[in-house]
Structure 1
């Protein structure tokens, strides 16, 4: 009788399945996504990105500019790609990402010839044509609305104008600064009216005073003085009311708002 060779433990089905799964995971981990731009020259990559922008394919253009930025790192072309990407992020509604790219650019390239454009773009991204009362009024309390983005936009434009007065973006920045000032003043006045209608006279007077102090040259100053005077009148603060009326009359002698203030406060 022949001697049996040592018996092997029978393989189990789950062992085979586990081995197959492990093998597939190794293959997956060892593979890398295909980079369709790997064989492109820098010039071709730039051309492709521009074509995608013209075609309105901003998402793909963003990816191409990101790759171009990496390959052309340390060059003006790389800097241009970085700013192009920031602009496209802004155009696609990714404002936070756009600002992050711009801030990184400013930190890494403080002497770049394109720094003026970076400031301008930063101002544009924060610039909001709606600016509070000019947009749709939601149910949010007006006093809770955040105007910080508009103020940040103003500061970017201001730095641009002061640091690069000869920049081709300076003139437009000045126009936008003027708009922001008038819009912010109008917003403060709107909030002051809001409080006045609700008999919150202290808050109304404070917001009107803020509009006057911060934005003295805005068209809202005239009505802000009137709201302030009327608020002080309702609070029984006669001296403060008369002071506000006096300033209103001196600066706007024909103001229609003078008629809204109690008679005893209109005498010089």
Structure 2
């Protein structure tokens, strides 16, 4: 009984090895065949081999339309495998080489997404790449209003802007707590000016009002208090300003 089990196990291992070698050693005589082989590995999430195979298409059939398709496929593989810096570079290279490609709107969107996916989970860390993400999303929105990626570009631009705004307010709050009120005021003002329509204006205006009060700048205190009360009368920040008598 034991010998039969061992024999079956040996056959299974041998068959798997042969199959694996056969799959890995597939050759192609045309660009179409080579691209199809690369796609097989891609679909099985064998990303390293897929990239090698797509590179083979590029190198062996450089003047084929499949070579261009392979370039974009490599960028997509990097993105799906969460190698976002590599995806970003690959999409950018593709864009430079093929600026008039039929899917250039997709490429621009993916550049933005590659930047976005590299952002940290919390805004208290470096989020400079959010600016690059916003730049790409803005370009797609401006150039391709009918693109199928337009709604997603708007959504992710809003998310990136919100992170940048949260970062600005995080720094402003830090300065306020440290009693560096002039720097806090500049940051609150920047937040209000640079990020309109993202829902954090009441927080910016309350912070600016309090900072101006600490600096004894009556003109700015009255200005920001007035904006807070008139534009966001039902906000918690407006109610707090009234309670504290910041007018």
TM-score normalized with structure 1 length: 0.74
Correspondence for 1:15: none
Pairing partner for 1:232 from 212, 215, 218: 212
What is the rounded CA distance, in whole Å, between the counterparts of 1:150 and 1:211 in structure 2?
Answer: 15
Instruction: Quote the offset at 1:223 in angstroms.
Output: 0.6
User: Does the aligned pair in 1 maintain the 2:130–2:161 contact within 8 Å?
Assistant: no
Correspondence for 2:167: 187
Correspondence for 1:20: none
Say if 1:71 and 1:166 are closer, same or farther in 2 by CA, change over 3 A. Answer: farther
- Let me know the Cα RMSD of the aligned residues: 2.4
What is the rounded CA distance, in whole Å, between the counterparts of 2:208 and 2:76 in structure 1?
Answer: 42
User: Does the aligned pair in 2 maintain the 1:128–1:150 contact within 8 Å?
Assistant: no
Say if 1:160 and 1:259 are closer, same or farther in 2 by CA, change over 3 A. Answer: closer
What is the rounded CA distance, in whole Å, between the counterparts of 1:260 and 1:113 in structure 2?
Answer: 53
Correspondence for 2:143: 163
What is the rounded CA distance, in whole Å, between the counterparts of 1:187 and 1:260 in structure 2?
Answer: 23
Deviations 1:152-175 (A, max 9, x none): 111111211221222222221122
User: Does the aligned pair in 2 maintain the 1:189–1:220 contact within 8 Å?
Assistant: no
Correspondence for 1:245: 225
1:204 equivalent in alignment to 2:184: yes
Say if 1:74 and 1:117 are closer, same or farther in 2 by CA, change over 3 A. Answer: farther
Instruction: Quote the offset at 1:123 in angstroms.
Output: 0.8
User: Does the aligned pair in 1 maintain the 2:109–2:137 contact within 8 Å?
Assistant: yes
Correspondence for 2:19: none
> Counting helix residues as a fraction of each chain, which structure ranks higher?
2
Correspondence for 2:11: none
Matches within 5 A, 1:9-28: none
1:43 equivalent in alignment to 2:32: yes
TM-score normalized with structure 2 length: 0.80
Give the count of matched residue pairs.
Answer: 223
What is the rounded CA distance, in whole Å, between the counterparts of 1:214 and 1:55 in structure 2?
Answer: 45
In our comparison, the structure showing a higher alpha carbon Rg is 1
Say if 1:83 and 1:164 are closer, same or farther in 2 by CA, change over 3 A. Answer: same
**169-178 or 89-98, larger mean C-alpha shift:** 89-98
What is the rounded CA distance, in whole Å, between the counterparts of 2:148 and 2:37 in structure 1?
Answer: 27
Instruction: Quote the offset at 1:36 in angstroms.
Output: 4.9
Correspondence for 1:59: 48
Matches within 5 A, 1:1-268: 36=25, 39-128=28-117, 131=119, 135-136=121-122, 142=124, 145-261=125-241, 263-266=244-247
**106-115 or 65-74, larger mean C-alpha shift:** 65-74
